[in-house]
Amino acid sequence: MSNSHMLRPGSYYFQGNEACIEGAIMAGSRVYAGYPITPATEVMEAAARRFPQVGGRFIQMEDEISSACLLIGASWGGAKALTGTSSPGFSLMQEAISFGIISETPFVIVDVQRPGPGQGYITSGQEDVMQARWGHHGEGSLIALAPSSVQEMFDFTILAFNYAEQWRTPVILLADETVGHMRKRLKIPPLGEINIVNRKKPQEMGIRPEDYLPFGGSEVPLMANWGEGYNVNVVGLVHQPDGHVTRYSPELDYQCIDRKLRKIEDNVDKIAKIDTRFMADIEHLIICYGTPSRTALEAVMEAREEKGVPIGYLRLITLWPFPEGMLRKLIPQVDTIFVPEMNLGMMMHPIREALRDKAKRFVSIPSMGTLHSPDLILSKIYEELRK
């Protein structure tokens, strides 16, 4: 898999959007499909330049609908595939995500978020955090990760592919314009030091085609690629574990969809990642994710150093599945929980639901269309603490 066009280990000064594609290549992705949209265009341009160099295929599709649907065919065709887009394009991909959930198809969508609704603007936003989880029609869950640095655009793209393969699910990388366009030193480790997960296949388990269950048999079913003699019928209708679309019954529907939800939600402790700092003896806490975490950390450090505010820092790396149990374990009884988001308080909903008895006050700190400045967060903290 290694070839001379893969990046050699070392340091590079890269944009987040470019780092994402290098991560995809390292993870073994060799199919990219997309449609140009600001501020995600550099993801696509990097793929156009880099994928053929490493033996991969790149295609500019006619829209985001087909870009995302293409991933379904590419994935069952045996490839690790991804597309990159920004919020308006992400809306168009919900149909494919929904199909990806029911057909348990691994693929990765990078959403370099911009503000909305409508065309919104081309700056930075986090207004798709709910859409990522709830935008698709129907039940079922998926995984969404929120990077906040150029290094994480690389690392989390690899993690996204690993999760997609391990849990047989679409994975969304919820980036934003700031981290997408940010340039910073990126460290590329040797390929041998990168953990790469591939799908588990029935061949490896000695399962014959006639006994193979593409949608059952274990919590995360084994996945045979097309072309391997397993005669897989991929379907989007409620189905039996073998892909057989039988007469509908509510019991069948429940069994079919419930497992697809549970394989993600019941394993939240294995999937979710959280970063914490300054958690000892705190009276207040900032809960953040994505690029605003950078501002939040700066603000927390300044508030502690300059005014001695006992405030802690908790960053959600995985937004979905939402790690309610982990949060409840990590977070002590506090006075105020601050949540800075580049939206009007979207993740505040699951946060408040999970921690309703853990804090007296929940304070949303919105910043629309642009990254919070430390002064915005600090002024909000000081204002609340004066109350």
- Dihedral sign, Cα of residue 311, residue 314, residue 315, residue 316: negative
CB of 208 to other proteins, least distance (A): 11
DSSP 156-221: HHHHHHHHHHHHTSEEEEEEEHHHHH-EEEEEE--GGGS-------GGGGT--GGG--TT-SSSS-
- Comparing CB distances to other proteins, the nearer of 244 and 349 is 244
* The one segment of 58-66, 85-93, 126-134, 282-290 that binds other proteins by CB under 8 A: 58-66
Q: Pick left, alpha or beta for residue 232 (phi over 0 → left; psi -120 to 50 → alpha; otherwise beta).
A: beta
Task: Pick from 133, 136, 181, 199 the residue near other proteins by CB under 8 A.
Answer: 181
194 forms part of the interface with other proteins (CB under 8 A) = no
Per CB under 8 A, 241 contacts other proteins: yes
Taking alpha carbons only, the member of 26, 68, 31 closest to residue 48 is 31
- Judged by CB under 8 A, the residue of 36, 45, 61, 255 near other proteins is 61
Of residues 296-355, those binding other proteins (CB under 8 A): 297-298, 301
Q: Which is nearer to other proteins, 137 or 270 (CB)?
A: 137
207 in contact with other proteins (CB under 8 A): no
Residue 234 touching other proteins (CB under 8 A): yes
What gap in Å lies between CA 222 and CA 170, rounded to an integer? Answer: 16
Residue 182 engages other proteins in binding (rule: CB under 8 A): yes
C-alpha to C-alpha distance for 182 and 15, rounded to whole angstroms? 5
The residue within the footprint of other proteins, chosen from 36, 38, 130, 275 (CB under 8 A), is 38
Measure the CA dihedral 248/250/256/260, to 10°.
Answer: 140
Q: Are 173 and 143 in contact (CB under 8 A)?
A: no
Contact between 81 and other proteins by CB under 8 A: the answer reads yes
Binding residues among 246-285 for other proteins as defined by CB under 8 A: 246
Chosen residue from 7, 45, 66, 385 binding other proteins by CB under 8 A: 66
In angstroms, the CA 105 to CA 164 distance is: 8
- Interface with other proteins (CB under 8 A), residue total 79
- Site for other proteins contains 4 (CB under 8 A): yes
